[in-house]
């Protein structure tokens, strides 16, 4: 049993979730900071939910380390948002990168691997760097919502993450897309301009497409594939 798992046993997880299931995101963040900081970190893909959490962390504890998994395939608009958030909140998101550049990686695979095997591409350019980024931490904060996918609907506000062996805190789990954008507008939180151009969910540019009205907000992710998750938040343990 790891240090983090020992710190938050199953009984306490149950009690904490009962306490926080209807709590506001700020309250959940305060609990996480009090319980785990400085061994607390946050991953963000610079989605609207992640921007909200950075906004809240600036008030609760701006010293929490926030990082982004920079695959090398991110939209320019996504990378520019990092600077906007730093200017607004004073929080500089650390860019965690794979061991190889895009050019080196594509040379190794005789071309873009996302065309032939997007699962392997996500694993090598996101999951492996994430594992490295989480070393030394007892808990990580994510920006997932339960209504985004079937896997995410099974998550808890606070739960043990067996894939990465630490406690996972999801402050926005019970929010809806409407809640998110109402907060963004009311608080003038910076966000990716691609959201105004038909991209409700944004990942790497080769595997992200705009959607039409009425489509699921994640329909543009790996469009045309059965895949709906890169592996960070899926329940599949095949890549443990």
Confidence check: pLDDT of 159 > 80: yes
Strands 166-169 and 158-161: antiparallel
pLDDT of residue 180: 97
For residue 198, give its domain range.
3-207
- Is residue 199 assigned to a domain? yes
Q: Per mean pLDDT, which range of 18-32, 57-71, 214-228 is the poorest?
A: 214-228
- Is residue 231 assigned to a domain? no
CATH number at residue 196: 3.40.50.620
Nearest to 174 by CA among 191, 189, 153: 153
For residues 150, 156, 158 and 160, what is the CA-based torsion angle, rounded to 10 degrees? -70
Q: What is the pLDDT of residues 169-196, one digit of tens each?
A: 999 999 999 999 999 999 999 999 999 9
Write down the mean pLDDT value for the chain: 88
CA separation for the pair 18, 206 (Å, rounded): 41
* DSSP for 180-222, written as a single string: HHHHHHHHT----GGGGGT-SS--BGGGB----TTS-TTTTBT
pLDDT of residue 228: 55
Q: Is 222 left (phi over 0), alpha (psi -120 to 50) or beta?
A: left
Number of helices (H), then strands (E), belonging to the chain: the values are 11, 6
pLDDT of residue 201: 86
Which tokens go with 151? Answer: 């896997």
Q: Per mean pLDDT, which range of 74-83, 169-178, 216-225 is the poorest?
A: 216-225
Specify the number of domains making up the chain: 1
- Is residue 213 assigned to a domain? no
Please answer whether residues 161 and 8 qualify as being in contact, where contact means their C-beta atoms are separated by less than 8 angstroms.
no
Residue 23 burial (C-beta neighbours within 10 Å; 0-12, 13-18, 19+): middle
Q: Which of 51-65, 134-148, 195-209 has the highest mean pLDDT?
A: 51-65
- Is residue 215 assigned to a domain? no
pTM of the model: 0.88
Percentage of the chain surpassing pLDDT 90?
A: 68
Q: What is the pLDDT of residues 80-130, one digit of tens each?
A: 999 999 999 999 999 999 999 999 999 999 999 988 888 899 999 999 999
Residue 230 appears among annotated catalytic residues: yes
- Is residue 239 assigned to a domain? no
Half-sphere exposure of residue 80: CA atoms within 13 angstroms, side-chain side: 8
- Is residue 160 assigned to a domain? yes
pLDDT of residue 11: 81
- Is residue 188 assigned to a domain? yes
- Is residue 104 assigned to a domain? yes
pLDDT of residue 3: 58
Catalytic residue among 121, 122, 204, 230: 230
Which pLDDT band holds residue 239 (cuts at 50, 70, 90)? Answer: very low
What is each CA distance from 32 to 25, 56, 161, 237, in whole angstroms? Answer: 10, 13, 15, 25
């Amino acid at each position: 049993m790891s240090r983090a798992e020992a710190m938050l046993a199953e009984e306490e997880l149950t009690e904490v979730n009962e306490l926080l299931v209807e709590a506001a995101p700020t309250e959940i963040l305060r609990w996480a900071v009090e319980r785990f900081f400085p061994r607390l970190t946050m991953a963000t893909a610079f989605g609207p939910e992640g921007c909200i959490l950075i906004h809240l962390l600036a008030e609760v504890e701006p010293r929490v380390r926030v990082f982004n998994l920079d695959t090398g395939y991110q939209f320019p608009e996504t990378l520019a948002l990092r600077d906007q958030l730093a200017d607004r909140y004073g929080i500089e998101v650390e860019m965690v990168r794979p061991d190889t550049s895009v050019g080196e990686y594509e040379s190794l695979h005789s071309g873009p691997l996302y065309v032939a095997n997007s699962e392997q591409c996500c694993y090598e350019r996101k999951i492996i760097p994430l594992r490295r980024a989480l070393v030394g931490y007892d808990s990580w904060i994510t920006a997932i919502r339960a209504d985004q996918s079937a896997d995410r609907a099974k998550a808890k506000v606070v739960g043990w993450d067996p894939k990465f062996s630490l406690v996972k805190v999801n402050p926005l789990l019970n929010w809806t897309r409407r809640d998110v954008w109402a907060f963004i507008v009311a608080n003038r939180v910076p966000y990716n301009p691609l959201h105004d151009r038909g991209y409700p969910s944004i990942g790497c540019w080769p595997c992200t497409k705009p959607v039409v009205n009425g489509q699921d907000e994640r329909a543009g992710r790996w469009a045309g594939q059965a895949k709906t998750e890169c592996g960070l938040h899926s329940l599949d343990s095949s890549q443990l």
